[in-house]
Structure 1
Amino acid sequence: MFVHIDKPEYDRGSGTTDIDELWSHLRRGDERALSELYCVSYAWLFSYGYRIVPQEAFVKDAMQDLFLILWEKRNRINKARSVRSYLRSALRRLIFRRMRKQNNRTRRNHDYGQEHDVELRNMEELIIGFELDEERKKRLALAIRTLSKRQKEAIHLKYYDGFSNTEIAKIMDINKQSVYNHVSKAISKMQNFVQE
């Protein structure tokens, strides 16, 4: 998409490409103008992106995404007072958005790992606690009956359906902390009943 052999329709005779002219042609749907704009702005745009995040592949991917977005939205792009400033700002926003996404994904994976470990330990403790004699099983059944509907739902979603706290929060339309509170209180209540 970005490399064309034939000469664009606009004038390049002076040896310097007018970036504003390329921008104007891009807005009118000239794919060759997009290619030329990419080539003309590559060095300084890459240098700018690399100062923000010194990861060559990351910056190159962000630049490719930027120019793909420009092409997809070419009919809605306004005339820019400074094309260079526009491209820098757009690349900067895109890089930060991608970094935020990457950080969120990393954090989610990390949080899931920690949350999963805690949940497994809690579940193991719960299962060990459930290996009870008949009397304690009766107490547990009674304890479950005393749980609120929300606590029962949270326990069921967590331990029977295997959902994470985040997923349960979405299903129950409550925040993650409330899920944790419901599950924690329910387990505490059941443990108290069983230990009596």
Structure 2
Amino acid sequence: MEKRLLNSIPQTDCDALWLLLRNGDKKGLEGLYRQFSHELFKYGLSMVRDEGFVQDCIQEIFIDLWKYHLRLNKADNVKVYLFKSLSNKIIRELKKARKRKTEEIQEEIYSQISIESIESSLINIQREKTLQAKLAKGLEELPLRQKQVINHLFFDQFSYEETSKMMGINLRSVYTLAWKAIGTLKKHILSLAIVLIFLF
């Protein structure tokens, strides 16, 4: 898989921009936006397939960063902080939407959860169309939290500890969600293998 641009950004540069932001210099905010907005957008789409909604959430995050810059603390990892902020923002906005809409609309929202970023990574690993379709079906059927964990760990390349912080759950829960998700995907692959044996 092609190395992400985000991973090539030196942490020291991020820390410098974060310090500028905390000191009230808009160059810090603008620099962070230029470096992270594209990856944040792709990440947001991996949670919700609604470009306008994701863009609004990203804009609100950076508006809040500037609005409350005097209250910001030193970030141990700027990348994790921004991804976690977006994840929390999306989840909060989805919860608000659920309260306003009927049960039918709620199901529609969750049916739109995107697996495009996961599928593109799997395609690079395995070119077999039949296997791609089977894996995609398995990913599509995963609950939201399991899908988030898989996306964080294997495609955004976060550690288990970083994933724990971003999702606001303990480390053991991350391992449990990942174990359940991988177990489900293995079943899809196994069923495909059985079919191929009988076909060939």
Q: Normalising to structure 2: TM-score of the pair?
A: 0.45
Structure number with the higher helix fraction is 2
Flag the structure with larger Rg: 1
**Which has the higher relative contact order, 1 or 2, with Cα contacts under 8 A spaced 6 or more apart?**
2
Q: Normalising to structure 1: TM-score of the pair?
A: 0.45
